[in-house]
Chain A
Amino acid sequence: MSEGIDEGLRRELQQQGVWVSSMQELYNWGRKNSIWPLQFGLACCAIEMIATAASRYDIARFGGEVFRPSPRQADLMIVAGTVTKKMAPQIVRLYNQMADPKYVIAMGACAISGGPFKQGYNVLKGIDRYIPVDVFIPGCPPRPEALLHAFMELQRKIDEQKLSGANKAAHLDQEQPSEFPVPSFGKHDLEPPANSNVFHPPAIERA
């Protein structure tokens, strides 16, 4: 919503056929309707992602348009599937190579928590340990409708981003990082096991 103009006046003008907007609204409207995802699938969730992009569900109707094969041209990373510890550094590197503004959807139980493979020695327990995730979708795998819902949630989130002020969007803030440290292979696990600037797990309360 534009802060500068009175809502009543705005509605009055609209009835007369005059559409008043703000720079922020125009900017977010353009961005949220042309989100290009990175063409990047990890496991069985990727099949659902492909179905979402194909003609039956057709993410292009929502502005999901073309899946880009290069991180330089993509706005959205859909982490679709199990993230192994071997793959995690590559994902973080791809995320770092995406141009700002960039968003992440963690798709499926594996990407958000490790899912059914959580006990596996080689499975990362959620990609949110290393990169900031905007929308989480549970499901094993989530149906294409769920991905579309996550996409619409992301659009809602983009629409609410501020262009200026104290709580402006992260990509407009010089202080906010655009690259995140890539984990390396340690003796037993990835080093570090999580990026504490990104990963804020809820505290466990034990009775």
Chain B
Amino acid sequence: MKPNPHLFIVIFIGVALVFPLIPLALAWLWRRIFQPPKPGPQKNSIYECGVESLGEAQIQFRSQYYLYAIIFLIFDVEAIFLIPFAVAFTGLPVGAFIAILVFLLLLIEGLIWAWSKGCLQWER
């Protein structure tokens, strides 16, 4: 008689359950018999570098950072798109050409806006 082809999966699951449960049970027994747990406010504290934590973890960043995001898009991300555009320029169909122009226009609009906002000014 041939054994069920799924039998090995059942055995595997059984071993996979028992294998981690034995050390966990041993640790639990050890705690019950020998070593009493000694929790405390400092031992259980979240931060573990020796310094007490100050303030809240959930702070908000200033919304002015969007200006940096815009300038990053213009001078960094745009360049990545401009290089393949320039390489394939002569063979581009009209639709693709207009699409990339719209893309450039949107970013140039952002550049003009950031310029007029004065955030390209070098602060001394």
Contacts and interface: CB of A to CB of B under 8 A. Distances in A.
Interface of A: 70-72, 90-91, 93-94, 96-97, 99-100, 163-164, 171-172, 174, 177-179, 182
B45 interface: yes
A71 B41 CA distance: 15
A172 B35 contact: yes
B51 to A, nearest CB: 6
Given A91-B50, A94-B50, A97-B48, A164 B34 contact: yes
B43 A179 contact: yes
B42 A100 contact: no
Contacts of A99: 43
Contact of B51 (A90, A178, A179): A90
Contacts of A72: 48
Contacts of A91: 50
Contacts of A94: 49-50
B42 A179 contact: yes
A167 to B, nearest CB: 15
Given A71-B48, A90-B50, A97 B36 contact: no
B42 A93 contact: yes
A172 B40 CA distance: 16
B48 to A, nearest CB: 6
A174 B36 CA distance: 6
B52 to A, nearest CB: 8
Interface in B5-59: 34-36, 38, 40-43, 45, 48-52
B42 A163 contact: no
Contacts of B51: 90, 93
Nearest to B35: A172
B48 A96 contact: no
Most buried by B among A91, A93, A177: A93
A79 to B, nearest CB: 12
Nearest to B47: A97
A196 B109 CA distance: 72
B34 to A, nearest CB: 6
Interface in B35-94: 35-36, 38, 40-43, 45, 48-52
Contacts of B36: 172, 174
A96 B35 contact: no
A179 B50 contact: no
A50 B30 CA distance: 35
A93 B42 CA distance: 7
A178 B40 contact: yes
Most buried by A among B34, B36, B50, B52: B50
A126 B113 CA distance: 63
B34 A97 contact: no
A178 B40 CA distance: 8
Contacts of A71: 48, 50
